[in-house]
Amino acid sequence: MRNAIRIFGLIAFVAASVSCGDVARDGRSPVFLVIDSLTAAPGASTTFGTILFSDVQTIVTTGGTCTPATPCPTLFADNGRAAFRIEPKNTVGLATPTTNNEVTVTRYHVTYRRADGRNTPGVDVPYGFDGAVTVTVPIGAGATVGFELVRHTAKEESPLVQLIGSRTIITTLAEVTFYGKDRVGNDITVSGTIQIDFGNFGDA
């Protein structure tokens, strides 16, 4: 009898653990926040692409006191852009979505990692960071928002500062996680990944 009680107790514990895991993973909101695209542009450019070639130092030859004869070594932050949409979790017998299902994104976190497993921040990859951004994703339409993907300060710190004057390229994957809530306060998160190649690239 005691063995039976223990078995039933173990089954109940496992079931509860699985249930809690699903809640933690899926959240309470009836909708998913989906990233349709995650793109980026070097700070000195407005051309966005699916891979970012991040220049650790850009030589500026126009504007202010900068000329071809007296160029200005300059650091630019690199910009990202995310396109979002909303999808219902349950497509069977779903009621018509309302404005309660709109999602407002308010912040994000960036983490850099390398495919070779050398991921120590400040040694192998730049430090991760949190940023603020606000955009509301409406029902039946998408929304796009820009954000800072690589900070100015990252290019003044290891390992990026050592790339100035070097031919070394550091290839990383940047994971960007966005955090928001729907109109009734349910937490929603979504993550996307973009490749970033850091180096001292030639300037046009």
Span 172-199, pLDDT tens digits: 999 999 999 999 999 999 999 999 999 9
Q: How far apart are CA 170 and CA 34, in angstroms?
A: 29
Reference 140, options 105, 104, 96; nearest CA is 96
Q: Residue 24: is its pLDDT beyond 70? A: no
> At residue 73, what is the residue type?
P
Which band of pLDDT confidence, cut at 50, 70 and 90, is reported for residue 93?
Answer: low
Q: Rounded to two decimals, what is the model's pTM?
A: 0.82
Three-state SS for 204?
coil
HSE of 11, CA atoms in CB hemisphere, 13 A:
6
Q: Residue 21: is its pLDDT beyond 60? A: no
> Which of the listed ranges 6-15, 90-99, 173-182 does the model predict with the highest average pLDDT?
173-182
* pLDDT: which is higher, 19 or 103: 103
Q: What is the DSSP string of 66-78?
A: --SSS-EEE---E
Q: Minimum mean pLDDT among 56-60, 88-92, 121-125: which range?
A: 88-92
Please determine, looking at this structure, whether the domain spanning 30-199 carries the CATH number 2.40.30.10: no
133 contact partners, CB below 8 Å, separation of at least 6: 105, 106, 107, 108, 145, 146, 147, 178
Q: Residue 23: is its pLDDT beyond 70? A: no
What pLDDT shows up at residue 64? 86
Other Cβ atoms less than 10 A from the Cβ of 42: the count is: 20
Q: Minimum mean pLDDT among 59-63, 107-111, 160-164: which range?
A: 59-63
Other Cβ atoms less than 10 A from the Cβ of 125: the count is: 24
Q: How far apart are CA 131 and CA 154, in angstroms?
A: 14
Three-state SS for 73?
strand
Say if residue 138 is preceded by a cis peptide, omega within 30 of 0: no
Span 32-82, pLDDT tens digits: 899 999 999 998 889 999 999 999 999 898 888 889 999 889 999 999 999
Which band of pLDDT confidence, cut at 50, 70 and 90, is reported for residue 100?
Answer: confident
Q: How far apart are CA 34 and CA 178, in angstroms?
A: 10
> At residue 1, what is the residue type?
M
